[in-house]
Amino acid sequence: MRLTKRFSLLAAAAALTASTAAFAAPTFINILTGGTSGVYYPIGVGLSQLYSNGIADAKTSVQATKASVENLNLLQSGRGELALALGDSVADAWNGVEDAGFKAPLKKLRAIAGTYPNYIQIVANKESGITTLADLKGKRISVGAPKSGTELNARAIFAAAGLSYEDMGKVEFLPYAESVELIKNRQLDATLQSSGLGMAAIRDLAATLPINFVAIPADVTGKIDNAAYLPAVIPAGTYDGQDTEIATVAIQNILVSHDGVSEEVAYQMTKLMFDNLERLGNAHSAAKDIKLEGAAKNLPIPLHPGAERFYKEVGAL
């Protein structure tokens, strides 16, 4: 009888210890971003600070990646909880477009929010004489990492302009900062970069040598067979020496999670972001374009139930 009672007490103690440990288990939030010289990375750092301070027992980390395509594949495999990705890449991931870097449909993906637009920014060393898309023929250009969101954008824009990689003198598949360094060293003539406005790599290049911005005219934009690509302008004065606005294309960025993230965590991630938009805008000015009104609209994948709960709560859905 005494032995049975002792075993019962031990079992109860073990159960209490296990439940306490489970209750206190940290919530890991790995945020997948892009290159450190782009916009995804500083915004990811800003989000990680919000979540570290605002979510109980959160253990946050920020991972530099090759951006959209890699991020979405990592989310599908459970190797991250939140990521930024271009809207066209998100649609391709959901549909399993192999040519875009997705071997099968990524059906675990869930949207947290539509955020700010990426602008296609084509810049060239002024010495190269490149001022139009047609001038890129025979020139040396970098278009982002292979099958990255940026590189997929490059393919779509060149095709709409009647160009291909074969028309170029040389095509490099490099991240933002490396592309800029090669232009500085006269080893490249131009780079196409898909990012928020005011990105560090282009600011650095504009402060180092005279550059030209290459416009993407409305007639080219209209030939892109993808509803995610919208006409836009880079406002005058966004970069040193850029005195006029530049016609271009914009694509919405989406904050994406997956169905393995709990409803409560997804709710907290969504709420904390929208409750602290001003602070997030201090991490990078591109985040100032994130608006609650359109965050849950026109998304190519289902909303995460936690995000949906937040939007219904605030009347945005």
List, in order of start, the domains of the chain with CATH numbers. 26-116+253-313 (3.40.190.10), 118-251 (3.40.190.10)
**Residues making up the chain, counted from first to last:** 317
Q: What is the pTM of this model?
A: 0.84
| 40-49, 139-148, 262-271: the lowest-pLDDT one | 139-148
pLDDT in tens, 171-180: 999 988 999 9
Is pLDDT larger for residue 262 or for residue 228? 262
Q: DSSP secondary-structure letter at 127?
A: G
β strands within 42-133, DSSP E: 58-63, 82-86, 109-125
d(CA 118, CA 241): 21
Q: Is 108 exposed, middle or buried (0-12, 13-18, 19+ CB in 10 A)?
A: middle
d(CA 188, CA 183): 5
Residue 246 has pLDDT above 90, yes or no: yes
Q: Is 130 exposed, middle or buried (0-12, 13-18, 19+ CB in 10 A)?
A: buried
Residue 16 has pLDDT above 80, yes or no: no
pLDDT-based confidence at residue 24 (cuts at 50, 70, 90): low
pLDDT in tens, 134-177: 999 999 999 998 888 899 999 999 999 999 999 999 999 998 89
Residue 275 has pLDDT above 50, yes or no: yes
The angle subtended at Cα 206 by Cα 205 and Cα 212, nearest 5°, is 105
Q: Is residue 177 classed as helix, strand or coil in its secondary structure? A: helix
